[in-house]
Amino acid sequence: MNYEPVTPMKFLKSNCIGKFVCVRGTVIRVSTIKPILLSMNFLCAKCRGEKTVTMNDGKFDCPGSCLVCKNKSMIPDRHSSITTDWQKVRL
C-alpha cells in the first residue's frame, strides 16, 4: 500500500519476475500457503558420497548417478531440504 509507481497489469511481463511491483486490483482467490522445494542433498547408497541438487520449479528430481563411484542408487536426505513458502493470489 502506498508504493509507487503503480504498474498496470497489462505491463506485467517476464521482466518483472523477481522484482517488487505495485498493482491495483481486486483479489478474487487466494490459495493456502505451501512449501516449495528449493534444494536437497542426496547420499550415494554405495560410497555415501553427497550431492546437492537444486530443484527447478519445486519439482522433485533425483540425480542420475554419484559423482564419485557412478552408482545410480541415490538416497534423498530429507532433513537437508531447503524450502520456502509459496502462495497463489488471483487478481
Q: How far is Cα 58 from Cα 19, in angstroms, rounded to an integer? A: 20
Please give the span between the terminal C-alpha atoms of the chain, in angstroms, as a whole number: 15
DSSP 8-state code for residue 72 = S
35-81 pLDDT, tens digit per residue, is 898 999 898 888 888 888 888 877 777 888 887 888 888 888 888 88
Q: How far is Cα 23 from Cα 11, in angstroms, rounded to an integer? A: 10
Q: How far is Cα 22 from Cα 7, in angstroms, rounded to an integer? A: 6
pTM: 0.62
